[in-house]
Amino acid sequence: MTTVETATLWVHIVAGFLALFAGVGAFVTEKGGLRHRHAGRAYVYGMVVVAATALALFALDPTATRQFLALVAVFSFYFVFSGYRVLSRKRPADAPTAVDWGAVTLYGLASVGLLAMGTLQFLAGNGFAVVVLVFGVLGTVLTVADVRSFRTETDPRAWLGEHVTRMGAGYIATVTAFSAVNFVFLPPVGRWLWPTLLGTPLLVYLQRRYEARFVSA
């Protein structure tokens, strides 16, 4: 590994830990408060660096493993980006901009890339294909849903549920990356999928809770 790769990897690791701890801070602080906003921004910035360095590592050494990790980085970052951007679209009149359309296009391409990679691995008999296909299917479904919402969304409450679920899903991706690297006592598929299996029901619960609170306020 070259000096540039080593430096990039360390930046990637540090940013990942920043996102991991900042995400906890955003979760436990009062929603809408100053500390919540500061922790949320730190989390978003950390994920920006994580995604950028993952892509840089792939560019420096375009192996199949780094290609997968680069696609997952785009996949994960889109959750955080879209969760942050939705705060700028709290009213139906606040239509998606070219930035939003560009991001969802990139996300859709990454999701299709994961589907293609997973299909090839499945045909080759690779057991890890299930992980790649899960990411690819989820990403494709979300891409279609976002394109539809960009065109037709009129519910003034939609931003709240989207903010909660997108930022939460991004954090699940952060935990997944940490698990994949460090939880070597688990089988490979388990290391990648347990955060999604445990975190998704929690996100559904939180979304309904905050939306109900918004209605009653």
CA–CA separation, 159 and 137 (whole Å): 23
45 within domain boundaries: no
CA–CA separation, 53 and 150 (whole Å): 29
Task: Residue 15: name the closest of 66, 53, 58, 67 by CA.
Answer: 53
98 within domain boundaries: yes
How far from each other are the two terminal CA atoms of the chain, in whole angstroms? 55
Domain range for 121? 64-216
83 within domain boundaries: yes
The pLDDT score that the predictor gives to residue 123 is: 94
34 within domain boundaries: no
Q: What is the pLDDT along the chain (217 residues), one digit of tens a residue?
A: 788 999 999 999 899 889 888 988 888 888 778 888 898 889 999 989 998 998 999 899 888 778 777 877 887 888 888 888 877 766 554 677 888 888 889 889 888 988 998 999 899 998 888 888 988 898 898 889 888 877 776 566 667 777 778 888 888 888 887 888 788 888 888 888 888 888 888 877 777 776 666 555 5
82 within domain boundaries: yes
Domain count, the chain: 1
CA atoms within 13 A on the CB side of 40: 22
CA–CA separation, 92 and 130 (whole Å): 38
183 within domain boundaries: yes
The pLDDT score that the predictor gives to residue 215 is: 54
The SS3 of residue 144 is helix
CA–CA separation, 51 and 16 (whole Å): 9
The pLDDT score that the predictor gives to residue 14 is: 92
3 within domain boundaries: no
8 within domain boundaries: no
- In the block, residue with structure tokens 């997952």: 72
CA–CA separation, 210 and 196 (whole Å): 21
- In the block, residue with structure tokens 């990039």: 8
The pLDDT score that the predictor gives to residue 216 is: 55
The pLDDT score that the predictor gives to residue 126 is: 87
Task: Residue 164: name the closest of 27, 16, 22 by CA.
Answer: 27
CB 149 within 8 A of CB 135: no
CA–CA distance from 212 to each of 1, 158, 202 (Å)?
Answer: 52, 12, 15
